[in-house]
Structure 1
Amino acid sequence: MISVAQSQLDSQPSSKMTMKHNIENGSSTPFHSKKRVRFASGEFGAKATKNESDPEDSDASFITSTTTNTSSKKIKVTRPMRNVKDFVRNALDERANGKMAGYEKLRRKFQASPEVFDEQSPAPSSQELQMTIKALTSVVSRLDTKCESLVEDIIATNWVGRDNMFVSAYVKLLANLVSAHAHYMGSVTKMLVQNLGSISKVRMNLPGYEPVNKNTVYDRVHFALQYILDLVPTASTSTLYPLLVQCYPHQKDNKVEHILYVDNCLRIIDYVPSIRHKLLTVIISHVIKIDIEIQGDLEDLDDSVGEQLEAEIMQVDVEDDVSEDEDSDDDEEATETTDKPEAEEQDAEEESEDDDEESDAEDDFGGETPEKRLKRLRESVDKLDNLLDLLFGYYAKHIPETEADKIPTREVTESYENLQSTFWQTIFPTYQSRYTQFLMFWAAQRFPHFSDHFSALMVQRMIDGQAPQHTRITSTAYIASYIARAKTVKASDVKSVVNLMCRWLGDYMNLREAECKFPDANRYRWFYQVVQAVMYIFCYRWRDLHFLDEEDEESIELHLANSRSLPWIPDLHVLKRVIGSRFNPLKVCSQAVVDTFADTAFHLQFMTCWSIIEENKRNGLGPEEYMLDCYFPFDPYTLKKSRRWIDPVYIVWQPAKPEDEDDSDENSSDDEDDAAEWPYKVDGEAEVDEGDSSETHSM
């Protein structure tokens, strides 16, 4: 199987690096490999001659010597290779007979660190170690559990920073090892997975070798994984997947560690499709934990500090203390792994050391000073931003944008369905996530078929009387937020959803209005959620809820200028009946939604709500815990980097009443200020304090 990783590795410039060899007499002679590594169809290394099938000839045939103005010639070191093979066989034979001297000497070849010069026990040259690896490959069946200590040393040796020929031989040994001894699969795979995170510069800059960068290291690791999994396919689910979950960075680890690991996981699932859905679910689950932690920390901050951070998040394009150059580096991080993250990782370590030297004055946050807490929150927001940008980029490749009338392919549909499954399993049940759910918001708009399906499922769950109440309430918030904010949703679809919701409200009124004596948020919470959803959609999509041509601005403005109500869709008028009933939803629904709906409905000549609102205020609105919160999952997306995926498909709030239009009505004028940025402060939260029933919090 020929992979992208193989071809990339094959073309690395390190294939022509200078090597220092110490074969028999300990002298160091420079050689240049003139043959590129061939990683294809299970072949490791380059075949130079037709006789290279002979193990004793092929073992050293890749070594060449070059001089100025002369062609390179092959130097066969058959005798040294045979000596190495004899040494390995003798060491294993003696080990079987209880003599450990040769075996321990063999182990020290792999234990010696090439990064540090030790005069007493110098590390073997790359060529010597490579010949040892080839010799071990020929007797791999003997490396059973009795030789486990030697195998551990082989697995622990630094191989990623050497030349391509060494990597070729080493990966071949690993592949043969796990094929002959299945119990080594876990150790080998774990070593490879542990190389998917940050890599120290020391490991990539071995003395006597040209430095390698992170891209080269990761290409080599992916090549090794892919080659081994081709030989042992069952290991992908039994071994690789559990280790990828086990080695996943902790949510408090720095941004660079997360970006590198997630980026490499996304590479893995492209050539190991059997774990794609499960691994993407794990990644999204970790991302949403960071998301929730940020929202919780924001709520715990003092008002002034929280508003400062919220303002920074909202106004990053204007007031961002990250330079354009650093933003450029971040872009490179999220799209391809480079050496940039390592420098940032070092900076992060230095900053961490500086933090340790700061005052340890305790506050209400477990000993964390406000400055440290604010700094940590900024880093968490940046981490979340970059991780979501990676995920959007991944799904953009698998759910590509195409013409609206095109039917998605089977592969595209499968990718969307997998994301949707993860959404229902992980994102939908999670309360207080702020940004992760936008993956679904974005993906559903890639094809009209996806959008219709997503809307239909939400509506179905919203009106399902057998579903738990928190499921119905959450579904109502999602469908309202999606219809209001999704730019690609057609006017006909907006009408269909609102018609259905209004008919449901009418049926509910017919069934239960007689029993209602006064507004009761606990008893009729589901009903109030639907009312609030319709009001919310009306404020955003009123241009789609009448029979005029929504593109005919002149007709719309003419109606408004003549103080004439627009020809609204018939089912919408049930809202007037609902608002004037004893259910009195304006007393229970979020005041941010109520006030903005009242202002919008008044300006559009749909209905007047001020008298009811004033009466409710005079009588008291009741305890906040009985009122609905203003949670709509697709509130404004403000992350500075990943918002580029959302902005093209997102409807921003625009009040129905122009800002420069005077209004003599005192109530309407007072509420116009709220409507201008309705219903959000800088962080996208409701202007009123959120109050929830225990059922809502159980989400």
Structure 2
Amino acid sequence: MGDGQNSNQLTDSESLVVTFEFDFYFPFIGNHDTKHYSLPMSVISQRTRGSGTPSSILKKPRSLKSRLNEVGHTPTKVRFILPHSRKVQNILQEYIETKVSRDYENLLCLIRDSVLTDDDVSSLLKEAAACISILNQDLRLFVEALLSIAWIDKNNDVVSEYQSFIVNLLSAHNYHAKIVIEKLVKLFLPSKPYRSRMARRGTPDADCLKCINIHALINLLLSVVPMCKELLMNSISKEFPYYNKSTHIHEYYLHNILWILDYQSSFRPDILHLIFSKLVIMDVNAPKEEIEKFVNDEEMFLMEDDAKSVKTSTTAFTTVNRHTVAHTLDVCLDKLFNYIVSECHNSKTGELNWEKTKRLYHDIISAFEKVILPTYNTHHVQYIMFLTCCFKPAITEAFLNFLWKKVCNPNVAPVLRQTSVNYIASLVARANFVPLSMVKGTLQQMADWIHSYISTQDGLECINSDVRIHSVFYSVCQALFYIVSFRHKDLVESRKTVVQNFAAITRKYQLAYCYTVMEHNARNMIPTIYQDEKGSVVMSNNVLDAFYPFDPYILERSGKNIHPFYREYKETVEESMDIDVKETNEVDDFLCNQDLSTTPVSKSQKFSYGSSPGFKFKT
């Protein structure tokens, strides 16, 4: 191997065993490891001596003593020397013509297995650049070998040469665009996983410096080779880490795909759609109740690789570490929240950039409608919309109008209409940036819709209708109750349902007396049996299930972006809920003289209807 010929050539069937020592370089940010591997290779000459038979390639068994004598002897280290450019071109040309070339195979192994210095890489790139015109599909393996070179941590001159070579290569042969883009996107993943401490501190500066070279090359390719845009999006989706991968892998990858939006904003709708889809999977695999059980455990996220320190759940395909998934979700949401804040504000003055905010809102609402809104019982991902709405009342109003249009549209699936009205109620109740005027407007809309619905449905022909067709009506009613209960200063101190809070407030202000109806519904435990429009017998338990998406946010790291704008439930009571409801069944007197003093309760109690069955209604 090399330029010259070996003077000591084998002329007969002698068997020569040469041991090559390779230095394999495993690049990793902040840690350069060089490991040595000894690889014995048997070389058998093609020629035989006289009429004799070739010697066997199998060695005779050696004694233990002979093996022990070899211990401590370092094998001879063979240094590979890159062939001259003329010879590289000749090797490639020979392979194109004959399709069989041992020199070509040796060249590929040389590039892949050698430890290449900066000078080696520079020399090789110059040799390859001289051959670009012939680097067609036939030389795909040679191109792949060049793409396997660790180049992002080389000196600036080598990096520039590599980038220029890739751009020129794809300009001449766009056939290689797919493999080039895939190789570049794979660099968005760390070559070696960090422990969780890196995820808590954020992406290191050293990582970012190396990523600059990758993104500079991608940006060049997107402008020179238009087909790379579709290939890039496909590769980003394909290489996105599985939801139970380590936190640092997700953080590193998310950091890089958000970086793409800095120079290719046209990718934002598709990338946000992809990110939302992946975060939703994490969210549903990190149950809120599991996080709450261990919220005070300081070691929960410190040992994410220690299976004994966390609770795992085995599915049909894999073992899921629920708390690590929750931590990963927390880190990813924090990075996404920071991106949204920085995108909408001037980096120097901190002032809101209204034009950029409007454009970002339209991209986010599109991904929200397709991914988050149809997903039931997520816990944290939907706060992306919560944070976006806090920047300006006009954004909040636009979001509420978007949801209300879905509620009023009979062509939308009832489950989405119910979910939409729950989003309205939860946002208006929980967001401290929603002004009182907007609260009143929302309640007025709901009340008008409710009265209009009652007027439309109030007739004998509706008596035997399928109760399920009224599910949206009951959801709007409960949403109105929910908002009144939350946004009123004098809240009832209780962990009861929405109906009980609403009943206490309306009773105090002599708006309505609901306890008699509530007691009647509480006794109505027998399911309703009826026939639907097809004549099938259907049984309903008459319980309205409610999902309020902006119940308390419990992820610690990303929660710092949410808590300043979040309205906590006031732990006070307008009247004691220990009143014997039975005694009030026959009393419907608003003027009863009863003490409505407040009494404190534990601060640990939370007003949350996320898992509440809601109220019962009689049909």
Asked whether the two chains share a fold, i.e. TM above 0.5, the reply is: yes
Distance in 1 of aligned mates of 2:477 and 2:391: 29
- Residue type at the aligned position of 2:258: L
Alignment of 1:270-669 (within 5 A): 270-295=262-287, 309-313=291-295, 316=296, 319-321=297-299, 351=306, 376-400=321-345, 409-515=354-460, 521-543=467-489, 592-620=497-525, 622=527, 625-655=541-571, 657=573, 665-666=579-580
- 1:396 Cα offset (Å): 0.9
**Counterpart contact for 1:472–1:526, Cα < 8 Å:** yes
Decide whether aligned partners of structure 1 residues 643 and 603 sit closer, same or farther in structure 2, where only a CA change above 3 A counts.
farther
For the residue of structure 2 that corresponds to 1:103, the secondary structure is helix
What's the CA shift string for 1:631-673, capped at 9, x where partnerless?
Answer: 1111111111111111111111115636xx878844599x989
- Residue type at the aligned position of 2:173: H
Structure showing the higher strand proportion among its residues: 2
Residue segments in structure 1 that go unaligned for 5+ positions in a row: 1-21, 25-80, 115-123, 203-211, 299-305, 327-346, 544-555, 561-589, 693-699
- 1:184 Cα offset (Å): 0.5
- Residue type at the aligned position of 2:284: I
For the residue of structure 1 that corresponds to 2:338, the secondary structure is helix
- 1:161 Cα offset (Å): 3.6
- 1:247 Cα offset (Å): 0.9
**Counterpart contact for 2:549–2:610, Cα < 8 Å:** no
**Counterpart contact for 1:600–1:657, Cα < 8 Å:** no
Distance in 2 of aligned mates of 1:690 and 1:253: 41
- 1:409 Cα offset (Å): 3.4
- 1:459 Cα offset (Å): 1.7
Decide whether aligned partners of structure 1 residues 444 and 412 sit closer, same or farther in structure 2, where only a CA change above 3 A counts.
same
Distance in 2 of aligned mates of 1:166 and 1:523: 68
- 1:445 Cα offset (Å): 2.3
Decide whether aligned partners of structure 1 residues 261 and 464 sit closer, same or farther in structure 2, where only a CA change above 3 A counts.
same
Alignment of 1:18-167 (within 5 A): 84-98=84-98, 100-114=101-115, 124-167=116-159
- Residue type at the aligned position of 1:462: V
Decide whether aligned partners of structure 1 residues 455 and 257 sit closer, same or farther in structure 2, where only a CA change above 3 A counts.
same
**Counterpart contact for 1:484–1:540, Cα < 8 Å:** yes
Distance in 2 of aligned mates of 1:379 and 1:626: 38
Distance in 2 of aligned mates of 1:112 and 1:364: 40
What's the CA shift string for 1:311-345, capped at 9, x where partnerless?
Answer: 334xx5xx43358xx6xxxxxxxxxxxxxxxxxxx
Distance in 2 of aligned mates of 1:686 and 1:82: 67
What's the CA shift string for 1:385-418, capped at 9, x where partnerless?
Answer: 111111111111222389xxx9953332111110
- 1:174 Cα offset (Å): 1.4
Distance in 2 of aligned mates of 1:23 and 1:222: 38
1:67 aligns with: none
1:685 aligns with: 610
- Residue type at the aligned position of 1:448: P
1:119 aligns with: none
Decide whether aligned partners of structure 1 residues 129 and 497 sit closer, same or farther in structure 2, where only a CA change above 3 A counts.
closer
What's the CA shift string for 1:455-512, capped at 9, x where partnerless?
Answer: 1122222122343322221121111111111211111111111011111222222332
Distance in 2 of aligned mates of 1:645 and 1:89: 58
Larger Rg: 1 or 2?
2
**Counterpart contact for 1:88–1:132, Cα < 8 Å:** no
Distance in 2 of aligned mates of 1:519 and 1:158: 70
Structure 1 residue 225 and structure 2 residue 130: aligned? no
What's the CA shift string for 1:248-290, capped at 9, x where partnerless?
Answer: 1112222221111111100012212222211111111111111
Q: RMSD of aligned C-alpha atoms?
A: 4.1
Distance in 2 of aligned mates of 1:290 and 1:322: 17
Percent sequence identity over matched residues? 23
- 1:219 Cα offset (Å): 2.2
Decide whether aligned partners of structure 1 residues 23 and 125 sit closer, same or farther in structure 2, where only a CA change above 3 A counts.
farther
Aligned length: 500
- Residue type at the aligned position of 1:259: E
Distance in 2 of aligned mates of 1:616 and 1:82: 86
Alignment of 1:179-258 (within 5 A): 179-200=171-192, 213-236=206-229, 238-258=230-250
Decide whether aligned partners of structure 1 residues 166 and 520 sit closer, same or farther in structure 2, where only a CA change above 3 A counts.
same
1:51 aligns with: none
2:198 aligns with: none
Distance in 2 of aligned mates of 1:364 and 1:395: 35
- 1:606 Cα offset (Å): 3.7
TM-score by length of 1: 0.64
Residue segments in structure 2 that go unaligned for 5+ positions in a row: 5-80, 195-204, 529-539, 582-593
- 1:439 Cα offset (Å): 0.5
Distance in 2 of aligned mates of 1:359 and 1:291: 16
Distance in 1 of aligned mates of 2:264 and 2:500: 53
- 1:680 Cα offset (Å): 4.5
Decide whether aligned partners of structure 1 residues 434 and 133 sit closer, same or farther in structure 2, where only a CA change above 3 A counts.
same
- 1:244 Cα offset (Å): 0.7
Distance in 2 of aligned mates of 1:525 and 1:194: 48
**Counterpart contact for 1:109–1:129, Cα < 8 Å:** no
Decide whether aligned partners of structure 1 residues 82 and 465 sit closer, same or farther in structure 2, where only a CA change above 3 A counts.
closer
Distance in 2 of aligned mates of 1:218 and 1:126: 19
Distance in 2 of aligned mates of 1:214 and 1:598: 58
Decide whether aligned partners of structure 1 residues 154 and 676 sit closer, same or farther in structure 2, where only a CA change above 3 A counts.
closer
Structure showing the higher helix proportion among its residues: 1
**Counterpart contact for 1:600–1:656, Cα < 8 Å:** no
Distance in 2 of aligned mates of 1:367 and 1:159: 37
What's the CA shift string for 1:79-118, capped at 9, x where partnerless?
Answer: xx9983333333334434547354344334312232xxxx
- 1:691 Cα offset (Å): 10
